[in-house]
């Protein structure tokens, strides 16, 4: 295939869809990559590295491409440049991008959404939500260590002993476990809580101590947690309060893809934290696990400072892009035939699950329902 690597248009997006190593792998598999000049600059990958890996610089990549690759959904004007029958691969929050989905379907463009890769073991190497969560979880731990006005490890010195910092992690998915592991590496004492049954063992496996609340567990599909009732949420907030109050640093990572993040910690609980305490809310962009957190800002609540995450994987653009690019290379392999031509086999549940539009149709059911629902009447197509 002829693959066009798009330069990200959003000023806050530092990542890139393919890194030079990934371009070399695609070239070895028989693909050609057309590069928008400067596509990797914000991740510290220069044009020269891409050229060395076999990419070509082109200004007409979208017009020529069989596949356009990007991190964020391509802009409408870029989609307009793609030829009928071409494809896109990127994050594509379909339910929040209905105009774009209409344009893709209307233009006969196939589109594959990275966040829709199913959570099955064969798809692990394509799971961009997991790879980006790993980077984000590490980053949250480093941010907490950077902001906390005390040291994480126990220190026994000639001038006495400094006690280790107490860290509480809420949400022990990929990001939470990585945050726990990183805080433990730095020597903090880490407690963690997650609503899923399997979490306690996973928390222990990375050196954390599971918090056990007298509440039923909530296991959802694909290893994610399912939503809880308002009554249970309120009770959980109450039961967590003493743990929050005792923590030097609180890191929250509970997110349910495509949905509002659950509010785990009230502002009232944060106000009980001690002077100098730090809160890191990875979920700030999707509504926040902590009441009052603001994405991209540090706000003061009581005596604590609350850091709200904003494109957290993009704060480490190099590693985030490396992993994302490998996810994309692996997914490209799945929609390619032996001659490196485009071939989407919808009998494959990964291909089927990831595809939003194809052949003029919206294939993603939830999105199709939204487009046919009342929203459709309000928003004229085109």
List of residues contacting its own copies (CB under 8 A): 43-44, 46, 124-127, 130-131, 134-135, 138, 142-143, 145-146, 149-151, 153, 155, 157-160, 162, 182, 185-187, 274-276, 303, 315-319, 322-324, 326-327, 330
> Would you call 130 a catalytic residue per the annotation?
yes
- 278-281/304-308 β-pairing: parallel
Q: Please give the angle made by the CA atoms of 157, 160 and 161, to the nearest 5 degrees.
A: 80
Whole-number Cα distances in Å, 118 to 104, 126, 215: 22, 9, 29
- Looking at the Cβ atoms of 135 and 169, the one nearer to its own copies is 135
Catalytic-labelled residue, pool 21, 64, 119, 232: 119
Catalytic-labelled residue, pool 127, 194, 248, 281: 127
Rounded to whole angstroms, the Cα distance separating 121 from 264 reads 29
CB of 289 to its own copies, least distance (A): 22
- Looking at the Cβ atoms of 65 and 134, the one nearer to its own copies is 134
CB of 45 to its own copies, least distance (A): 8
- Looking at the Cβ atoms of 308 and 317, the one nearer to its own copies is 317
Rounded to whole angstroms, the Cα distance separating 295 from 287 reads 9
CB of 334 to its own copies, least distance (A): 14
- Looking at the Cβ atoms of 176 and 262, the one nearer to its own copies is 176
358 bridge partner residues: 361
Torsion angle of the four alpha carbons 87, 93, 98, 101, in this order, in degrees rounded to the nearest 10 = 10
- Looking at the Cβ atoms of 185 and 310, the one nearer to its own copies is 185
- Looking at the Cβ atoms of 62 and 208, the one nearer to its own copies is 208
CB of 187 to its own copies, least distance (A): 7
The two structure tokens encoding residue 51? 């050229």
CB of 182 to its own copies, least distance (A): 7
Question: In this structure, are residues 169 and 208 in contact, taking their beta carbons and an 8 Å threshold?
Answer: yes
Question: In this structure, are residues 86 and 104 in contact, taking their beta carbons and an 8 Å threshold?
Answer: no
Catalytic-labelled residue, pool 52, 124, 163, 372: 124
- Residue 7 has a CB neighbour count (10 Å cut-off) of 18
Burial class from Cβ neighbours inside 10 Å (0-12, 13-18, 19+) for residue 233 reads: middle
Rounded to whole angstroms, the Cα distance separating 337 from 168 reads 48
Catalytic-labelled residue, pool 70, 103, 130, 131: 130
> Would you call 345 a catalytic residue per the annotation?
no
Which phi and psi (to 5°) does residue 75 adopt?
-70, 155
CB of 132 to its own copies, least distance (A): 10
- Looking at the Cβ atoms of 14 and 367, the one nearer to its own copies is 14
> Would you call 224 a catalytic residue per the annotation?
yes
> Would you call 127 a catalytic residue per the annotation?
yes
Question: In this structure, are residues 248 and 167 in contact, taking their beta carbons and an 8 Å threshold?
Answer: yes
CB of 207 to its own copies, least distance (A): 12
> Would you call 124 a catalytic residue per the annotation?
yes
Q: Which residues of 141-174 are buried (b: 16+ CB within 10 A; e: fewer)?
A: bbbbbebbebebeeeeeeeeeeebbbbbbbbbbb
Catalytic-labelled residue, pool 185, 224, 348, 376: 224
Residue with tokens 């029958």: 85
Question: In this structure, are residues 204 and 227 in contact, taking their beta carbons and an 8 Å threshold?
Answer: no
Which positions are annotated as active-site residues? Answer: 119, 124, 127, 130, 224
């Amino acid at each position: 295939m002829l693959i066009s690597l798009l330069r990200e248009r959003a000023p806050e997006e530092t990542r890139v869809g393919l890194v030079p190593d990934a371009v070399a792998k695609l070239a070895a598999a028989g693909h050609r990559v057309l590069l928008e000049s400067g596509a990797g600059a914000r991740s510290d990958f220069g044009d020269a590295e891409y050229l060395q890996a076999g990419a070509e610089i082109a200004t007409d990549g979208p017009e020529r491409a069989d596949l356009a690759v990007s991190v964020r959904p391509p802009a409408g004007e870029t989609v307009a440049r793609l030829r009928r029958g071409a494809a896109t691969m990127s994050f594509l929050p379909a339910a929040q991008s209905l105009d774009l989905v209409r344009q893709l379907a209307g233009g006969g463009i196939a589109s594959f959404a990275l966040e829709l890769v199913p959570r099955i073991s064969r798809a692990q190497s394509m799971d961009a939500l997991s790879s980006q969560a790993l980077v984000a979880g590490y980053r949250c731990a480093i941010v907490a260590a950077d902001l906390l006005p005390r040291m994480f490890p126990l220190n026994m010195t000639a001038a006495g002993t400094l006690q280790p910092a107490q860290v509480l992690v809420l949400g022990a998915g990929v990001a939470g476990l990585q945050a726990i592991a990183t805080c433990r590496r730095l020597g903090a004492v880490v407690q963690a809580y997650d609503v899923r049954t399997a979490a306690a063992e996973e928390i222990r496996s990375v050196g954390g101590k599971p918090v056990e609340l007298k509440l039923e567990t909530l296991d959802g599909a694909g290893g994610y947690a399912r939503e809880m009732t308002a009554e249970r949420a309120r009770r959980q907030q109450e039961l967590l309060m003493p743990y929050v109050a005792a923590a030097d640093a609180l890191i929250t990572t509970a997110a349910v893809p495509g949905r509002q993040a659950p509010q785990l910690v009230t502002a009232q609980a944060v106000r009980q934290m001690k002077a100098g305490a730090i809160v890191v809310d990875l979920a700030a962009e999707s509504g926040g696990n902590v009441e009052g957190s603001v994405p991209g800002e540090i706000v003061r609540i009581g005596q604590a400072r609350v850091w709200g995450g904003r494109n957290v994987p993009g704060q480490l653009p190099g590693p985030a892009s490396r992993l994302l690019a490998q996810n994309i290379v692996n997914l490209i392999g799945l929609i390619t035939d032996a001659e490196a031509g485009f071939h989407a086999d919808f009998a494959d549940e990964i291909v089927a699950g990831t595809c939003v539009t194809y052949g003029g149709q919206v294939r993603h059911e939830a999105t199709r329902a939204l487009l046919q629902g009342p929203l459709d009447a309000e928003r004229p197509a085109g």
